[in-house]
Amino acid sequence: MGVIHVENITKTFEKNKAVNDVSFSVEKGRIFGLLGPNGAGKTTTIRMINNILAPDTGKITINGEIASPATQKMIGYMPEERGLYKKMKVGEQLMYLTQLKGMKPSAAKKAIDFWLDRFGASDWKKKEVGELSKGMSQKIQFIATIAHDPDIYIFDEPFSGLDPINSETLKEVIIELRSQGKTILFSTHRMEQVEQMCDDICLFNRGKTVLQGDLREVKASFGKNTINLEFEGDGSFLDNLTDVRLNNRSTNFAEIRVLNGQSMQGILEVAMKHAEIHKFERIQPSLNEIFISTVGEDNLKNEEV
């Protein structure tokens, strides 16, 4: 059984089924990506894992224990909407939040000093959070999430609003945490980050999981149904292609998803007539393509019903 185990959970707000019979399992030492469009039920699921909300039905276990105040201590959680007390000093604030996670004051102090030092933020200890820049307070928020040294880390949209440098630091820390055997679950809709970092994914749409598993296996299951095309010349011929979807298009590059058994050779012929081809490659679809097609199909299916 996984470190985080979610079994048939459902959560209804008034008439809206925010989460509908969802199950997945996060294995120890892996990075698990929770994907899906806005409103798919990711945040609600994450809140239930954190025992902030209780599922209407179903069961969530953390390290084998039913989600409870005791399991909250095992998790470091950074919500999508981040925030700190603006008028409180950095050091006191971190002490407060860390102690709420059950840490003893002396141990909390040591951990906070360690992380402040690690992020080059030791000088800010006596500053009020309101005085800090956005990037600085994001670091403090991150320290508040991890200082109590939990086994499990949950980040809801961790990269939203981060500048490239903080984004990179966060990525490094997440990968470092995994190398220490920690388990990480994060939600995002930035696919390139998922491709770079995640071991497993779970794709949500309309409160249900529509796709889940090991990232590489998921991608392989879609087969090499995509063309990676590099060319020079007039790219307008691309608009006349039928039964394809163009992703990631630019002046001399296109990722072409072939649909309905359209012939790849035919596409190559057309391309050669209109432009000089530098590269023509059959590849696995990008995660972005998988995301769009899976969610699209799911929505179509729902409309028919």
Q: Is 75 in the site for another protein (CB under 8 A)?
A: yes
Torsion, Cα 16 22 25 31, to 10 degrees, reads -50
Terminal-residue alpha carbon distance, the chain: 35
User: Per-residue string for binding with another protein, 78-117, x by CB under 8 A?
Assistant: xx-xxxxxxxx-------xx-xxx----------------
Give the nearest distance from C-beta 78 to another protein in angstroms. 8
Tell me which residues in 35-64 interact with another protein (CB under 8 A): 47, 50-53
- Could you tell me how many residues of this chain bind another protein (CB under 8 A)? 27
Smaller CB separation from another protein, 84 or 295: 84
User: Per-residue string for binding with another protein, 122-161, x by CB under 8 A?
Assistant: ----------------------x-----------------
Where would I find the H helices in the chain? 42-49, 69-72, 90-100, 105-118, 134-146, 164-179, 191-197, 215-221, 264-274, 287-304
Give the nearest distance from C-beta 30 to another protein in angstroms. 21
* Of 141, 130, 150, 129, nearest in space to 169 by CA: 141
List residues bridging with 59 in a β-sheet: 7
Q: How far is CA 30 from CA 4, 65, 215, 300, in A?
A: 11, 19, 11, 33
Taking contact as CB under 8 A, which single stretch among the options 65-73, 110-118, 227-235, 296-304 is the one that binds another protein? Answer: 65-73
Gap between the Cα atoms of 181 and 20, Å rounded: 31
The DSSP call for residue 184 is E
Instruction: Please select the residue that binds another protein; options are 15, 69, 265, 300, rule is CB under 8 A.
Output: 69
Gap between the Cα atoms of 293 and 300, Å rounded: 10
Smaller CB separation from another protein, 26 or 215: 26
Instruction: Please select the residue that binds another protein; options are 45, 72, 183, 209, rule is CB under 8 A.
Output: 72
Residues 6+ apart with CB under 8 A from 24: 6, 202, 209, 212
Are 127 and 90 in contact by the 8 Å Cβ rule? The answer is yes
Q: Is 286 in the site for another protein (CB under 8 A)?
A: no
Taking contact as CB under 8 A, which single stretch among the options 70-78, 175-183, 229-237, 291-299 is the one that binds another protein? Answer: 70-78
Give the nearest distance from C-beta 85 to another protein in angstroms. 6
Residues of the shown chain interacting with another protein in the complex, contacts defined by CB under 8 A:
14, 47, 50-53, 69, 72-73, 75, 77-79, 81-88, 96-97, 99-101, 144
